């Protein structure tokens, strides 16, 4: 916990001594001794999953504040943190992301961190750009999902291509593997997203995350999303692995 969040990391746990000391112990023993200490993902990757989960869950400002600070401590820069939050707009919505950005601003100010924001000039053929990025991330299956909306909500399909992939996925700052870590953390914490989890688990494998990294991403969400949502996600992982002929070891 000190490695991830710095010398004052235990202050949050120690503040529980007068009311729920065992809860503080569970945070240390389970959250960090069991989950964060696992191999398979490095500390930066784990913070991206965690920030994704906490932002999507909503109403987690104190915890998000802690983990944005941890993300900076382990080497993610401020622009990457903000980019991870922006990436969650298509999955968690603008209100949760705006709230998370406000938390990030507070953390940056407290730490004297200067942000060099990533700015992308608007314009260009957003649909063509988004279609190319969608194929890169999801393959032809992504195009099929969009085309399946043509008979009922074609504009929704267009928004997915133009905004989610043409605007968001095409941004610099995070690579495709990092974006899938954030996405999966968010989808698992959001709950009731099995079809979308399946799409993005396939995408995670497609952009180069290993089966072990995928499993570790799901396990990393347990302290932040709870066992029920994570167990549901494991069922989706099993289905995806079976379709790919992947044997989890």
Write the DSSP string, the chain: -HHHH-TTTTHHHHTTTTT-HHHHHHIIIIIIIIIIT-SSS-HHHHHHHHHHHHHHH-S-HHHHHHHHHHHHHTT--HHHHHHHHHHTHHHH-HHHHHHHHHHHHHHHHHHTPPP--------S-HHHHHHHHHHHHHTHHHHHHHHTTTTT-HHHHHHIIIIIIIIIIT-SSS-HHHHHHHHHHHHHHH-S-HHHHHHHHHHHHHTT--HHHHHHHHHHTHHHH-HHHHHHHHHHHHHHHHHHT----
Mean pLDDT of the chain: 97
Q: What is the mean pLDDT of residues 130-154?
A: 95
Q: What is the model's pLDDT at position 248?
A: 75
Q: What is the model's pLDDT at position 125?
A: 97
Q: What is the mean pLDDT of residues 121-126?
A: 95
Is residue 195 predicted with pLDDT exceeding 70?
A: yes
Percent of the chain exceeding pLDDT 70 equals 100
pTM above 0.85, yes or no: yes
Q: What is the model's pLDDT at position 220?
A: 98
User: Tens digits of per-residue pLDDT, 8-57?
Assistant: 899 999 999 999 999 999 999 999 999 999 999 999 999 999 999 999 99
Percent of the chain exceeding pLDDT 90 equals 98
């Amino acid at each position: 916990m000190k490695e991830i969040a710095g010398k004052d990391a235990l202050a949050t746990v120690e503040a529980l001594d007068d009311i729920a000391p065992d809860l503080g112990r569970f945070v240390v023993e389970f959250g960090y001794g069991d989950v964060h200490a696992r191999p398979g993902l490095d500390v930066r990757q784990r913070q991206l999953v965690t920030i994704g989960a906490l932002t999507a869950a909503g109403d987690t400002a104190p915890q998000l504040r802690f983990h944005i600070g941890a993300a900076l401590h382990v080497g993610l820069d401020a622009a990457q943190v903000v980019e991870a939050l922006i990436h969650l707009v298509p999955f968690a919505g603008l209100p949760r992301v705006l709230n998370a950005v406000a938390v990030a601003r507070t953390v940056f100010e407290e730490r004297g961190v200067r942000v060099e924001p990533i700015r992308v000039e608007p314009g260009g053929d957003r649909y063509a750009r988004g279609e190319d990025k969608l194929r890169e991330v999801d393959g032809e299956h992504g195009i099929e999902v969009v085309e399946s909306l043509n008979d009922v909500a074609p504009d929704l399909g267009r928004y997915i291509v133009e905004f989610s992939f043409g605007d968001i996925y095409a941004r610099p700052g995070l690579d495709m593997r990092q974006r899938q870590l954030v996405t999966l953390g968010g989808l698992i914490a959001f709950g009731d997203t099995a079809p979308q989890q399946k799409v993005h688990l396939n995408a995670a494998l497609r952009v180069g995350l290993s089966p072990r990294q995928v499993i570790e991403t799901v396990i990393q969400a347990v302290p932040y999303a709870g066992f029920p949502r994570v167990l549901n996600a494991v069922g989706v992982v099993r289905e995806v692995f079976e379709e790919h002929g992947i044997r989890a070891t």
